[in-house]
Amino acid sequence: MSSDYFDARWRADEPAAALEWLRTQYGRVDVQADTGSVAERAAGDDGFALRRLSWDCRAEVVYEADRFFFATSTPGYAWRIGSVEGEYSVAPGIVQPGQEFLGRADGTVVEMVAFDAAHLTEAARVIYGDDDLEVRFDGTAPVSPRLRDYWLATLRWSLTQLPLLSEPLVRAHVRRAIVAATLEAFPLAGDPRERRASALEQAAIYAAAASWMDDHASLPVTADDAARAVGTSAAGLRRAFLANGHLAHTPEDYLAQVRVSAAHIDLVASDPTRSSVGEIALRWGFVDVLAFAAAYRAAYRTDPQATLER
């Protein structure tokens, strides 16, 4: 999981201060602005960041991209990359690493997500099950109006999560949602039919393995057993969980959660004069009672003994 979380708010009312801030955030940037203000809210980590830039002025921005940016705006932000031009309020657009971007802002608000190239590549390889995939986009706009709207809705939902983004699990959930929407909505180079088949296969492996573990959690089975049962390798099962697991990102974590849930049901139903926490923990594969109690507290915010004695 990415680290180095940051949440920065900034405002400048004169061009020199704006340029200094933008260079600390984006690297090589040149800004020519008239009087007015520039403000930004940015939150994220070393893998991705959500950003909202408010331009209460006219400004020209020249930027050499060192990461991926996917942006939309209110009317007033025209851009050019090479011979291609656009307006972010008309269609969301991409800036890719190595491209030189020219933007002209005029009293507008830009909302965007930025991805470190290595992080987006790693995420795409997990989602599509392709360890050789290199992320590059053929074009600057979403592939269809339906996927444009899907991406815009996902970005706007992600921005509502800014107050909670410091929580690692929330950040991981937001990152997963916006990565998936971005890779689906924009024209990723390569054959989309092959990628979609791979993503569907990953989802099918995840669903089959989760169902198998649900059914066999009371037996002394492992994640490797689940992989063999659904006809994949341990590494393949791990990739499927990374791509599809919302509550557990590894098959081992999923199996442990299933067993804690089953133990909880037993604790609620058992007579404390006839059963003990240790017996119930052992029934569900927890040899170490202290480890079981810690896992139970994390899931239910109370001690298993307290549940048993209700």
CB distance 217 to 257 below 8 Å: no
177 and 202 belong to one structural domain: no
What sign for the dihedral angle of Cα 171, 174, 178, 180?
A: positive
How many Å apart are CA 69 and CA 110, to the nearest integer?
A: 11
pLDDT of 3? 60
CATH number for the domain spanning 117: value is 2.60.120.10
Q: Who wins on pLDDT, 261 or 243?
A: 261
The residue among 167, 189, 211 that closes a domain is 189
Secondary structure class of 247 (helix, strand, coil): coil
Q: If you average pLDDT over every residue of the chain, what do you get?
A: 88
Domain hosting residue 232, numbered range: 191-310
- pLDDT surpasses 80 at 253: yes
Question: In 10 A of CB 44, how many CB atoms?
Answer: 24
41 and 53 belong to one structural domain: yes
What percentage of the chain exceeds 90 in pLDDT? 50
DSSP states of 33-102 as a string?
A: E-SSEEEEEEEE-SSEEEEEEEEEEEEEEEEE-SSEEEEEESS-EEEEETTEEEETTTS-EEE-TT-EEE
Q: How far is CA 194 from CA 110, 128, 167, in A?
A: 34, 9, 35
pLDDT of 151? 95
229-238 burial code (b ≥16 CB/10 A, e <16): bbebeeebbb
The residue among 139, 167, 189 that closes a domain is 189
CATH number for the domain spanning 261: value is 1.10.10.60
The residue among 189, 219, 253 that closes a domain is 189
pLDDT (tens digit, 9 = 90+) per residue, 195-204?
666 777 788 8
168 and 222 belong to one structural domain: no
Q: Who wins on pLDDT, 240 or 6?
A: 6
107-116, 207-216, 271-280, 299-308: which is most confident: 107-116
For residues 263-289, average pLDDT:
90
